Amino acid sequence: MIRNRLFAGAATTALVAALFPGCSSESGNSDAADPEANASASRAAANEAEAAGQVAAEEAGDPVTLEPQKIGILQIIAAAESALNAQKSIEAAADAIGWTTVACDAQGDPVKTASCGQSLLDQGVDGIVSISNEPSLWKPALDKAKAENIPVINVAGNVGPDPAILGSYAPDNGHQGEVLADYIIEQLQTLDGDKGIAVHTFPASWGEARTEAVTAAVEATDDVEIVATASTDPTNVQAGTSKTVTDQLTQNPDLKAIWFSYDVAAQAGAQAVGSKFPGTQFPDRPLVTTFGTDSGTLALLRQGSIDAVIENATAVDGWVAIDQLAEFFARDRMPTPGPTDGDFPEYGDFPIASYRVFEKDDVPGSGPVPPVADFEAFFTAKWAKEFGA
């Protein structure tokens, strides 16, 4: 069953219907429609997105010239598919608007985060898009960027504030957590007796926001309790998580659910659960949930090793970041709405963020989960009309 919450206006229903023919917000499988119907729906969604993009361009003002720019990408950890996909979206958006990019991978290492930030500045970038890197880890480079009027945008996961970060575009991690926590509580309420869960956070603002949501949801119940916690080690995700989950299952043999704030940790944890409970499904083993619909996570969802995921549609973040940088360079406009948590610029009725929970039967049998709207067509049309890009 798809549980669907959107940040959008009146056009959302039509766009969702076009992208998911045959599906409602409550149930259905996106394989249900035939290929011809899917292709027709995709074309209709693209046409609607292009029309919305042209309207957004008109609302931005008269067409203006946009000069070429070199954008630095500060990658948190390219080995994580979700972070790599975020980088690819930034690169695709920059290419679509006629800019170049250079990236530096911090590999989840705080020391490398600082050196990467400085390296990008040394390479003469005109702007920086950071993928979920906490400002405290690269503060000297941020201070230099601000002093040199080099705009910095954060994407993919909320981070702490810093004067140099002019905009932050990422899913509302707290709201994500609330939606997924509601799903978990609902599933656990089908069981008798007390229900213990394990919560795995991630040492970053976005991970902590998700974890705070599930903690609050559990505290509001009478029969669900967090009996084990862990913080994922960014430098030892696979082996570290596997051992931690195995230990938690040994120490808590009646564990009913495991929450992972980080999808790569969930992939390792799900396999550890499978080793402990081979050939079983919830409720005969703990419920396993996480964030994101990257290929590795989807594969385990389709196999039944992960029970549910909430989308972490960060691909659109990179396109929003490039759009806001374009407005900054071409019109001297500050990014909007600024460095807030989970907020995006308003583009009329065009939907930017959605928060859908997917179970196995809700996703295509192969390939990615389609976004809630064709944002690539939207921004490409906007930039063509606004900048001639």
Tokens encoding 286: 């703990």
In the block, tokens 């407005």 appear at: 327
Tokens encoding 104: 């530096």
Say whether 174-310 and 64-169+315-345 share the same fold: yes
Look at residue 340 in the predicted model and tell me its pLDDT: 63
Look at residue 259 in the predicted model and tell me its pLDDT: 98
- Nearest-angstrom CA–CA distance, 62 and 134: 37
With contact defined as beta carbons under 8 Å apart, do 78 and 87 qualify? yes
Look at residue 21 in the predicted model and tell me its pLDDT: 36
Look at residue 69 in the predicted model and tell me its pLDDT: 99
Look at residue 389 in the predicted model and tell me its pLDDT: 84
Give the residue among 239, 295, 293, 294 at the shortest CA–CA distance from 271.
239
- Nearest-angstrom CA–CA distance, 294 and 276: 25
CB within 8 A of 307, min separation 6: which ones? Answer: 187, 281, 282, 287, 288, 289, 301, 359, 360
The verdict on domain 174-310 having CATH code 2.40.50.140 is: no
| Predicted structure pTM score | 0.79
Q: What are phi and psi of 66, to 5 degrees?
A: -115, 120
pLDDT tens, position by position, 155-193? 998 888 999 999 999 888 899 999 999 999 999 999 999
Angle 191-195-201 from CA coordinates, rounded to 5°: 125
Look at residue 171 in the predicted model and tell me its pLDDT: 86
Q: Amino acid identity, residue 113?
A: T
Q: What is the 3-state secondary structure (H, E, C) of the chain?
A: CCEEEEECCCCHHHHHHHHCCCCCCCCCCCCCCCHHHHHHHHHHHHHHHHHHHHHHHHHHCCCCCCCCCEEEEEECCCCCHHHHHHHHHHHHHHHHHCCEEEEEECCCCHHHHHHHHHHHHHCCCCEEEEECCCHHHHHHHHHHHHHCCCCEEEECCCCCCCCCEEEEECCCHHHHHHHHHHHHHHHHCCCCCCEEEEEEECCCHHHHHHHHHHHHHHHCCCCEEEEEEEECCCCCHHHHHHHHHHHHHHHCCCCCEEEECCHHHHHHHHHHHHHHCCCCCCCCCCEEEEECCCHHHHHHHHHCCCCEEECCCCHHHHHHHHHHHHHHHHHCCCCCCCCCCCCCCCCCCCCCEEEEEECHHHCCCCCCCCCCCCHHHHHHHHHHHHHCC
**Domains of the chain: which residue ranges?**
64-169+315-345, 174-310
Look at residue 344 in the predicted model and tell me its pLDDT: 87
Mark the ranges of the chain whose per-residue pLDDT is less than 50. Answer: 6-33
Tokens encoding 372: 């809630």
Sign, CA dihedral 383-385-386-389, equals positive
Of the options 3.10.150.10, 3.40.50.2300, 3.40.50.720, 3.40.50.2000, the CATH number for the domain spanning 64-169+315-345: 3.40.50.2300
pLDDT tens, position by position, 133-142? 999 999 999 9
With contact defined as beta carbons under 8 Å apart, do 328 and 166 qualify? yes
